[in-house]
Amino acid sequence: MPQLIDGKAFAASLRERLADSVRTLKEIHGVTPGLAVVLVGEDPASQVYVRNKGKQTVEAGMASFEHRLDASTSQAELLALIDRLNADDAVNGILVQLPLPRQIDEAAVINAIDPAKDVDGFHLTNVGRLATGGDGLVPCTPLGCLMLLQDHLGDLSGAKAVVVGRSNIVGKPMASLLLANHCTVTIAHSRTRDLAGECRAADILVAAVGRPRMIPGDWIKSGATVIDVGINRVTGEDGKNRLVGDVDFDSAAAVAGAITPVPGGVGPMTIACLLRNTVEATCRQKGIDPGAILPG
């Protein structure tokens, strides 16, 4: 059996260490970090995410501000709320839950957020900073994947990393982070000619395509580290719903050196990294060195 990379335990430990950071910010600097989460509409999955974000924000000792808007909200109304949150000193981080209803232009909304408060790392300024090696806020899911990789492998220098998936939320920022950590990086996707061959060359394989069990064990190099970002709901032969990743866990586990399970792998890291980004954003806004506050 390969080593299981326990994201659930790592995220729990990160949240505890962040709660210590928040205590320090309050006691020494008199600052309580605040995170505003905006949900437009009633998408059931988004409602669950938003509830969990609020709960974990409060558990870490931070202030949580939730804004739930009707599905018919106009772009102008949403932009007006973003303006108010940008100007609010109690709000250090702003997250607008995606997807947004059709009448709203996602890019316009994301780019209206003050980049210093963009804890999702989706604003063009933060995307540019990540691509050019600057100090910006980094998207939460790829940041969580990187932390798990560094915890498991230490230095990633020289490793051949293959990212399957090219989304703006995961695939592209993941590739930038791996490159910044001195990996040789390939981004593969649905039109890649020899996807199996590309995957077989990977020391580090990150799967972020959103297709249940798309990557079988015989696409994986012996001893590779596999990070499965997929969270897909499937109906089993017994008629019950369960969550599976983008990697076929059973066949992959027979060859990989280490692998993240689904659930309990990458998933819990996303909110933990959102809390981390909120603490980092707060420090920068207040002129406090994040390196002196954030967990190492």
- Between the two ends of the chain, the Cα-to-Cα distance in Å is 30
Cβ 168 vs Cβ 99: under 8 Å:
no
Q: Which is nearer to ligand GUN, 118 or 248 (CB)?
A: 118
Under the binding rule (CB under 6 A), the answer on residue 98 touching ligand GUN is yes
Amino acid at residue number 117: K
| Binding region for ligand GUN (CB under 6 A) out of 6-14, 93-101, 178-186, 285-293 | 93-101
CB-count burial class (<10 Å; 0-12, 13-18, 19+) for 33: buried
CB of 138 to ligand GUN, least distance (A): 11
Under the binding rule (CB under 6 A), the answer on residue 85 touching ligand GUN is no
Under the binding rule (CB under 6 A), the answer on residue 174 touching ligand GUN is no
Report residue 1 as tokens: 């059996």
CB of 120 to ligand GUN, least distance (A): 5
Q: Which is nearer to ligand GUN, 120 or 228 (CB)?
A: 120
Cα separation, 260 vs 266, in Å, equals: 7
Torsion of CA 176, 232, 245, 39, to 10 degrees: 40
Cβ 257 vs Cβ 290: under 8 Å:
no
The partner residues of 35 in beta bridges, in order of sequence, read 64, 93
| Binding region for ligand GUN (CB under 6 A) out of 56-64, 74-82, 89-97, 286-294 | 89-97
Under the binding rule (CB under 6 A), the answer on residue 120 touching ligand GUN is yes
Q: What is the largest CA-CA distance in the chain?
A: 56
Report residue 216 as tokens: 């079988």
| Binding region for ligand GUN (CB under 6 A) out of 91-99, 153-161, 171-179, 285-293 | 91-99
Under the binding rule (CB under 6 A), the answer on residue 146 touching ligand GUN is no
Among 11, 40, 60, 95, binds ligand GUN (CB under 6 A): 95
Cα separation, 14 vs 16, in Å, equals: 5
Residues 6+ positions from 116 with CB-CB distance below 8 Å: 281, 284, 285
Under the binding rule (CB under 6 A), the answer on residue 69 touching ligand GUN is no
Q: Which is nearer to ligand GUN, 2 or 263 (CB)?
A: 263
53 counts as catalytic = yes
Kindly state the number of chain residues that form the binding site for ligand GUN, as judged by CB under 6 A.
8
Enumerate residues 154-173 that contact ligand GUN by CB under 6 A. Answer: 169
By annotation, the residues acting in catalysis are 53, 97, 120
Interacting residues with ligand GUN (CB under 6 A): 95-98, 120, 140-141, 169
